[in-house]
Amino acid sequence: MQKRWSTLFQTFEGHSCLVKTITFSPDGKLVVSGSEDKTIRLWDAATGSLLETLKGHSDSVNAVAFSPDGKLIVSGSSDMTIKVWDTTTGSPLKTLKDHSDSVNAVAFSPDSKLVASGSSDMTVKLWDAAVGSPLETFEGHSDSVNAVAFSLDGKLVASGSSDITVKIWDAAVGSLLETFEGHSKSVNTVAFSPDGKLVASGSSDMTVKIWDAAVGSSLETFEGHSDSVNTVAFSPDSKLVASGSSDMTVKIWDAAVGSSLETFEGHSDSVNTVAFSPDSKLVASGSSDMTVKIWDAAVGSSLETFEGHSDSVNTVAFSLDSKLVASGSSDMTVKIWDAAVGSPLKTFEGHSDSVNTVAFSPDGKLVASGSSDMTVKIWDAAVGSPLETFEGHSDSVNTVAFSPDGKLVASGSSDMTVKIWDAAVGSPLETFKGHSNSVNTVAFSPDGKLVASGSSDMTVRIWDATTGATEATLMADAVFRTLAFSNNDSYLYTDKGLYDINPQSAGAISPQLSSHMFVKGQWVHQGTKNFLWLPHEFRPTSVAVCDSNLALGHDSGHVTFIEFDLANTREPE
């Protein structure tokens, strides 16, 4: 299954009902949202903090817009009024009344002097923003007007209606210039391209259409949503179109050719509104799930889901060349997958209980697995045959790791011990005792001389791999599930972040090691920064990282593979 993801930067929570409308300020620093909870909320786009809550409407807020200079906000409501607000103070300046039904859409003219509004009374109205008086009423639609937009020069107004048409009006005199026909259901949203040459429309027929604004001809039809398209927006450079749908996704399209570039998944209900930031790097979306989300429009990742296990996937690991993924499951099997295409290559059967941990040897020829059956098994990765079974633990084996030269295997167990094994013959060489609870993760240092172990006793122990002597005991104040040494042995990469194992600063996070990726909770992190938000169904039970690749195991039995194009990824700020 192919999908495209982009980084989710922020989720703004605060509305108590669905979010119907959202937009960025012209400088990209603010986001304003309107909701069925009758409020307008002003947010800091960078931090997600709530700056102001604007109250005054007596019914749902259906539309909001900033003036081009960013000083004013206009809102339209089901209470049949339009309000103009001071952005800095949040105070209401004007209330515009003349519609006889719900106001569904509002827009400022480029010079901030006019406001256009669309209503369920089937009219479009043009207002003087400074004094609040109605200037023109455009009549011609035969059903509710759901969307309005000005052209960049302010001379034209586009409107979309439930009568399944898009109309272009002369803003100065109110005359109808063009009627675009082609949608088969209600037109819910319209937008001019910044250069004024194109109009985008989104419809309940599940399509987005691109029109020539001058002559009304249909240029492109974008198909891909599986439910009504509720909102569309052009990027400031006119090259991209964003659309939001009742299918709970946001899509990014190439405006010229109509190809789908990105699909953003994360909302749990209909997406009602989308907007690009002024620099085109961010997309904001508002949803009936009552959240506002901010997405990175530039970062893309290719995703595969590997299906084949019949029970929860407990562990995943990459081969050193990133070409293979091994997974271990409660179905008692180990599977080997082609990381590029997601196809299963081998299934290893032999454990008599859940497989909790897997690891490739450095040359990729062997796979080690540890199980609740208290054994460690060594497999030939190419043919799937079991080569050795290591017996000696008295409880579940939770973690295994090969030494850098591939000659040793370390294993950690719920019996509170770490064991070192000869990988070739399966004989136990050392048993490290000292933890007071289950050992969950083990790792060799790059030179193979040290072993680190993390335990449910919330300590990390550093051992001499040859003698078993304890080199250090670090109070972690956390239960680590994964560990890996840095190249200079100064840090451990963990599922909780970067852990300094220098005795003088044990436990400190090192911000300069920002490129390491790990998964914690609902986020993929890059160093200390949130990098990629994981929807609930993609949050893993096990994780493996190799350079820019992630493998995630899930309790559904699926394995998800994510390959990041870090060369074209903007460093988290």
Could you read off the pLDDT of 450-492 as tens digits, one per residue? 999 988 888 888 899 988 888 888 877 667 777 777 766 666 7
Q: Are residues 57 and 156 in the same domain?
A: yes
What's the gap between Cα 488 and its chain centre?
33
Residue 27: per-residue pLDDT? 87
Is 360 domain-assigned?
A: no
Is 520 domain-assigned?
A: yes
Give me the sheet containing 529-533, strands edge to edge: 517-520, 523-526, 529-533
SS3 311: coil
Q: What is the mean pLDDT of residues 42-47?
A: 84
Q: Are residues 505 and 522 in the same domain?
A: no
Q: Are residues 53 and 65 in the same domain?
A: yes
% of the chain residues with pLDDT over 90: 45
Q: Are residues 160 and 274 in the same domain?
A: yes
What region, left, alpha or beta, does residue 70 occupy, with left being phi > 0 and alpha being psi -120 to 50 degrees? left
Is 107 domain-assigned?
A: yes
At residue 495 the predicted structure's pLDDT band, cuts being 50, 70 and 90, is low
Is 449 domain-assigned?
A: yes
> Which one, of 36, 104, 21, 98, lies nearest residue 66 by Cα?
21
Question: How many domains does the chain divide into?
Answer: 3
Q: Which domain, by its residues, includes 419?
A: 392-510
Residue 1: per-residue pLDDT? 31
State how far the Cα of 459 lies from the Cα of 506, in Å rounded to an integer.
Answer: 11
Give me the sheet containing 240-245, strands edge to edge: 229-234, 240-245, 249-254, 260-265
State how far the Cα of 144 lies from the Cα of 139, in Å rounded to an integer.
Answer: 11
**pTM for the structure as a whole:** 0.53
* Residue with more model confidence, 544 or 300: 544
Is 367 domain-assigned?
A: no
Could you read off the pLDDT of 153-171 as tens digits, one per residue? 899 999 999 999 999 999 9
The number of residues in the chain equals 573
Q: Are residues 416 and 440 in the same domain?
A: yes
Residue 10: per-residue pLDDT? 67
Mean pLDDT check: name the lowest of 473-477, 493-497, 502-506: 502-506
Mean pLDDT check: name the lowest of 6-20, 102-116, 505-519, 523-537: 505-519
Residue 150: per-residue pLDDT? 93
Is 372 domain-assigned?
A: no
Give the sign of the dihedral formed by CA 166, CA 171, CA 173, CA 174.
positive
At residue 5 the predicted structure's pLDDT band, cuts being 50, 70 and 90, is very low
At residue 65 the predicted structure's pLDDT band, cuts being 50, 70 and 90, is very high
Q: Over 60: is that where the pLDDT of 329 sits?
A: yes
Residue 327: per-residue pLDDT? 85
Residue 565: per-residue pLDDT? 59
At residue 218 the predicted structure's pLDDT band, cuts being 50, 70 and 90, is confident
Is 66 domain-assigned?
A: yes
Q: Are residues 436 and 570 in the same domain?
A: no
Question: CATH code at 503?
Answer: 2.130.10.10
Mean pLDDT for the chain overall:
83
Q: Over 50: is that where the pLDDT of 561 sits?
A: yes
* Residue with more model confidence, 546 or 409: 409
At residue 572 the predicted structure's pLDDT band, cuts being 50, 70 and 90, is very low
Residue 4: per-residue pLDDT? 39
* Residue with more model confidence, 290 or 65: 65
Q: Are residues 455 and 573 in the same domain?
A: no
Q: Are residues 252 and 345 in the same domain?
A: no
Q: Over 90: is that where the pLDDT of 100 sits?
A: yes
Residue 504: per-residue pLDDT? 47
Is 155 domain-assigned?
A: yes
**In contact, 531 and 276? CB cutoff 8 Å:** no
Q: Over 80: is that where the pLDDT of 40 sits?
A: yes
One-character DSSP codes across 23-47: EE-TTSSEEEEEETTSEEEEEETTT
State how far the Cα of 293 lies from the Cα of 6, in Å rounded to an integer.
Answer: 12
Q: Over 80: is that where the pLDDT of 442 sits?
A: yes
Could you read off the pLDDT of 174-207 as tens digits, one per residue? 899 999 999 999 998 989 888 888 899 999 999 9
Give the count of alpha carbons within 13 A of 210, CB side only: 24
Q: Are residues 244 and 204 in the same domain?
A: yes
Residue 498: per-residue pLDDT? 62
Q: Are residues 220 and 140 in the same domain?
A: yes
SS3 477: coil
Could you read off the pLDDT of 6-17 as tens digits, one per residue? 455 667 788 888
Residue 384: per-residue pLDDT? 83
Could you read off the pLDDT of 399-416 as tens digits, one per residue? 999 999 999 999 999 999
Residue 183: per-residue pLDDT? 94
SS3 498: strand
Q: What is the mean pLDDT of residues 364-380?
A: 94
Residue 287: per-residue pLDDT? 79
Q: Are residues 112 and 56 in the same domain?
A: yes
Residue 424: per-residue pLDDT? 86
Q: Which two tokens stand for residue 170?
A: 């002369």
Could you read off the pLDDT of 78-99 as tens digits, one per residue? 999 999 999 999 999 999 999 9
Domain boundary among 510, 533, 551: 510
Domain boundary among 475, 495, 510: 510
Q: What is the mean pLDDT of residues 224-249?
A: 91
Domain boundary among 510, 530, 559: 510
Residue 496: per-residue pLDDT? 62
Q: Are residues 336 and 448 in the same domain?
A: no
